[in-house]
Amino acid sequence: MICENLGVNNLGHLTFAGVDTVELCEKYGTPLYVMDENRIRHNMRVYTGAMAKYFGENAGCLYASKACSFKRLYEIAREEGFGTDVVSSGEVYTALKAGFDLKKAFFHSNNKTDEDIAFAIDSGIGYFVCDNIEEVNAISEIATAKGVTQNILLRLTPGIDPHTYEAVNTGKVDSKFGSAIETNQAYEITKMTLSLPGIKLCGFHCHVGSQIFDSEIYMRSAEIMLSFIARVRNELGFTAEILDLGGGYGVRYIEANPYIDIDKNIKELAAFMKNTVSQLGIPMPTVYLEPGRSIVADAGITLYTAGTVKKIPGYKNYVSIDGGMADNPRYALYGSYYTVVDASRMNAECDMLCTLAGRCCESGDLIQENIRLPGDIKRGEKIAVLTTGAYNYSMSSNYNRLGKPPVVMIKDKEDYVAVKRETLEDIIRNDV
């Protein structure tokens, strides 16, 4: 199986984190997000362990909470010594309510509103990662009016195409994110930032994309960023304290995706960066990484109940489920791959090529095409979509007035509710 927290028990049921998934469906109903707390902690420890081992004291890990954000996750991140990335007042508020120390929070996004900025400053946000000069100006004004000095980083685009999907490509020069080094805008914005009141420039950030398997990409972007740091140190007399290299390490959605050894990648990156800073004659900045997907993706699955099985002879077979794009829009958005299994009958022969269709009134509401399930699959059987811990719950909607599924966490084989199921009353909560 694609992750070691998956298994099959003697009833032929899928197990996840050592728990029978069919029993979970009976206990909590479907659709159901299930998350493996031990796996989240394990994934976090791989990062914190490697960063401490290879970069030493001067390094840190930030959980990119947009991958999956609810109170319990900020508690886990805090307990594991992670900082966090947030991108909205909603994420700031959730972190705050979870008792997260916002000094360790970095506020991203390409367009922070004045309200976001004011709210985050009032909440004691550690850093803003500014995307462009308008944003730097806005933060400078708001911080000055509040009589505070706000720490910021500047988001730069190193100009790297990480050869992944276009839609999640963010390090290229023409990206909507950041200021490009190549066009000299990065240099100009740095110069302007250094002259503004109410803000303290602490360093630079980049994020070249997502679902990256090639560690070369991080070395190349680190090299470009460190060269830029050397240039502004020489020409502007500014020494960056922080270099944040973003997130993006890939995960296994399907068997064809490779295993990625994060520890080894970080080891190579650290050795490369130590060599680069000594060649450039600059001090090593504090290095941050911001994993999101690689922390939570394989710590999550989604469980559904099969409904209509529609066979269109000579054309296509559909298996419909009681969820869909409202709880997982990723296939509809950008054709993401997933592994789909019949959780009720893991040992049955998967002899039917089919499409897993959602229940929303939208023909694009598919979870996956060209998958294999048992040809005699029946209404009522439980279907599991694997590796859904990232960008599923956090991207979910109430389309068709569907209530969002709950998130059930498993810790040491014990299940508990981390997010409740939305009720019909929740659906009309704001209707007047």
Ligand X SMILES: *Cc1c(COP(=O)(O)O)cnc(C)c1O
Give the DSSP letter string of 156-208. Answer: EE-----SS-GGGB-SSTT-SSSEETTTTHHHHHHHHHHT-TTEEEEEEE---
Closer to ligand X by Cβ: residue 225 or 402 = 225
Q: Tell me the C-alpha distance between 52 and 67, whole Å.
A: 24
361 annotated active-site: yes
Q: Tell me the C-alpha distance between 186 and 288, whole Å.
A: 20
381 Rama sector, left if φ>0, alpha if ψ -120 to 50, beta otherwise = beta
Classify strands 199-205 and 150-157 as parallel, antiparallel or unpaired. Answer: parallel
Strands in 331-392 per DSSP E: 340-342, 352-357, 366-373, 382-386
Q: Tell me the C-alpha distance between 419 and 311, whole Å.
A: 36
Q: Whole-number minimum distance, CB 107 to ligand X, in Å?
A: 10
Q: What are the residue ranges of helices labelled H in 250-369?
A: 262-280, 293-296, 330-334
Q: Whole-number minimum distance, CB 310 to ligand X, in Å?
A: 35
Give the DSSP letter string of 204-238. Answer: EE---BSSB--THHHHHHHHHHHHHHHHHHHHH--
Closer to ligand X by Cβ: residue 172 or 293 = 293
Closer to ligand X by Cβ: residue 85 or 91 = 85
Closer to ligand X by Cβ: residue 346 or 390 = 390
Q: Tell me the C-alpha distance between 129 and 152, whole Å.
A: 6
Q: Whole-number minimum distance, CB 211 to ligand X, in Å?
A: 6
Closer to ligand X by Cβ: residue 176 or 274 = 176
Q: How far from the centroid of its chain's Cα atoms is residue 143's Cα?
A: 29
Closer to ligand X by Cβ: residue 384 or 390 = 390
Query: Which amino acid, one-letter code, is at 171?
Result: G
Q: Tell me the C-alpha distance between 145 and 295, whole Å.
A: 38
Q: Whole-number minimum distance, CB 294 to ligand X, in Å?
A: 6
Q: What are the residue ranges of helices labelled H in 237-301?
A: 262-280, 293-296
Q: Whole-number minimum distance, CB 385 to ligand X, in Å?
A: 18
Closer to ligand X by Cβ: residue 67 or 138 = 67
Q: Whole-number minimum distance, CB 189 to ligand X, in Å?
A: 17
Q: Tell me the C-alpha distance between 82 and 51, whole Å.
A: 11
> Which residues lie near ligand X (CB under 6 A)?
64, 66-67, 85, 108, 207, 210, 246-248, 290-294, 390
Q: How far from the centroid of its chain's Cα atoms is residue 346's Cα?
A: 29
**Phi–psi pair at 68, nearest 5 degrees:** -170, 110
- Look up residue 68 and give its DSSP letter: S
Q: Tell me the C-alpha distance between 397 and 303, whole Å.
A: 17
Q: Whole-number minimum distance, CB 315 to ligand X, in Å?
A: 36
Closer to ligand X by Cβ: residue 78 or 207 = 207
Q: Whole-number minimum distance, CB 327 to ligand X, in Å?
A: 18
Instruction: Find the largest Cα–Cα distance for the chain.
Output: 71
From 25, 68, 130, 361, the catalytic residue? 361
The residues annotated with a catalytic role in the active site are 361
